[in-house]
Structure 1
């Protein structure tokens, strides 16, 4: 079977960077600016020029993986995805961008710590559809059918990654001093910091993503270091997406383009 086939319910997107492209489903979770900003943020954390061992936990169709690998030629990345449907797309996206020697797709549950060797990673990235299954209600169309609602909740509890799950696995797979970078909703910040500390991951950086000057942030970029030194936390300047409606900021244009600076973040 041709690895590069595109189904009728899929689209081919231009990632607007170095010729990278992304196949994705027309329905379900689709990549957006959060994936682009996370890849840039994570790449800025990496200082070493030698080979970097990384993993994308809950990789979906692979937007973050492809963008990160495109930014860091020295990265060797394992992308883990639990759902067969996006996993099929993930594999094809690595083939489409000729990244098979740089990136490996693994069909599996991030909560299974046997998927990767312990203390093997320099960097973990994640942008999963995180939610607390205990607080998540079935869609209204299912609530009048107890059996369907039960099946739906069982599916959510099986595939839904909690922040505790994420940090537990990251702490198992990161080398001492290794970094985790993720993008999340502001409402999840208390859960993020609590879970990091529980698994000896010290928060080291926070950056808010703000749609327009003066607006409240819509997303957060957060980084932590396994066995990091307390007191090393940095609150980075806001990432302003647009200077006015429909007008990207210079930094947004830079992130989406071929910036000449390395974008590194110092701690």
Structure 2
């Protein structure tokens, strides 16, 4: 579902710089800028956008907040491919925020996606409490002391919980959501008990849970969860989402349907892990 207009001419400032790539994702022509040798989006962003959109039935005008928007993949997919929004895209790092802002302009989504430079740990300074019907986040996955920290600050902040942790993400989501609003998250499967516990503490009641498997006979690597503020209506566990199979580009049919056929056929799939 194409929710943004088409920009016929690309100005020079919307061309990739010497240390950047311009990458396409999804079926609606979303394009984003990424550092050539920096942190790059993964398939998790596509799966999260699809999960958030298909597991909810918001009003078309229901405002959405993305916490830790990065290059803008999730926000842009939500408005261009799935018709949600408007979206406020909150990002901490100035250099990443600059690429996000350029991507919004490149995709001609200025009326649908609003980049916001700010720290989710200080969310009260940047957004109005209770203003959003849906909050989404593909947050840093690794706990701060797990493994060796990347010497590249941008990569470290994007991958590891050095600037925020899961509890901070969930606390920010709780503040931003209207009563009955939804939060959709993606995390490593090994952190399911921890994240579900934080959601319960915040009175964000899990309503849909789905585990992601690389292949049908492989253990889960990720989980997608959607929770509702203040209203416990029970939990539905969806069938497993299997990434790889016999579909275009080596994807399983459900995942292949989320990707542009040229991308699935000609380019390697996005990374599945950090």
Length-normalised TM-score, structure 2: 0.82
Note closer, same or farther for the CA distance 1:71–1:8 as it changes in structure 2 (3 Å cut).
same
Note closer, same or farther for the CA distance 1:131–1:242 as it changes in structure 2 (3 Å cut).
closer
194, 198, 201: which one aligns with 1:195: 198
Cα drift, residue 159 of structure 1: 5.0
Q: Distance in 2 between matches of 1:163 and 1:219?
A: 15
Cα drift, residue 113 of structure 1: 2.6
Q: Which runs of 4+ in 1 moved over 6 A?
A: none
Q: Would the aligned equivalents of 1:130 and 1:161 in 2 still touch at CA under 8 Å?
A: no
Q: In the alignment, which residue of structure 2 is the partner of 1:35?
A: 45
Q: In the alignment, which residue of structure 2 is the partner of 1:240?
A: 242
Q: In the alignment, which residue of structure 2 is the partner of 1:222?
A: 225
Note closer, same or farther for the CA distance 1:9–1:41 as it changes in structure 2 (3 Å cut).
same
2:127 pairs with 1:116: yes
Structure 2 counterparts to residues 43-62 of structure 1, below 5 A: 43-62=53-72
Note closer, same or farther for the CA distance 1:121–1:244 as it changes in structure 2 (3 Å cut).
same
Q: Would the aligned equivalents of 1:186 and 1:217 in 2 still touch at CA under 8 Å?
A: yes
Q: In the alignment, which residue of structure 1 is the partner of 2:268?
A: none
Cα drift, residue 74 of structure 1: 4.5
Cα drift, residue 116 of structure 1: 0.8
Mark the runs of 5 or more structure 2 residues left unpaired by the alignment.
Answer: 1-10, 262-274
Structure with higher Rg: it is 1
Q: In the alignment, which residue of structure 1 is the partner of 2:21?
A: 11
Q: Would the aligned equivalents of 2:58 and 2:133 in 1 still touch at CA under 8 Å?
A: no
Equivalent residues, number: 245
Secondary structure in structure 1 of the residue aligned to 2:129: coil
Q: In the alignment, which residue of structure 2 is the partner of 1:207?
A: 210
Note closer, same or farther for the CA distance 1:21–1:141 as it changes in structure 2 (3 Å cut).
closer
Cα drift, residue 216 of structure 1: 0.7
Q: Distance in 2 between matches of 1:243 and 1:6?
A: 33
Aligned Cα RMSD in Å?
2.6
Q: In the alignment, which residue of structure 1 is the partner of 2:271?
A: none
Q: Distance in 1 between matches of 2:170 and 2:151?
A: 34
Q: Would the aligned equivalents of 2:45 and 2:138 in 1 still touch at CA under 8 Å?
A: yes
Cα drift, residue 88 of structure 1: 1.0
Mark the runs of 5 or more structure 1 residues left unpaired by the alignment.
Answer: 143-152, 259-267
Q: In the alignment, which residue of structure 2 is the partner of 1:81?
A: 91
Note closer, same or farther for the CA distance 1:214–1:50 as it changes in structure 2 (3 Å cut).
same
Q: Which moved more, 1:115-124 or 1:20-29?
A: 20-29
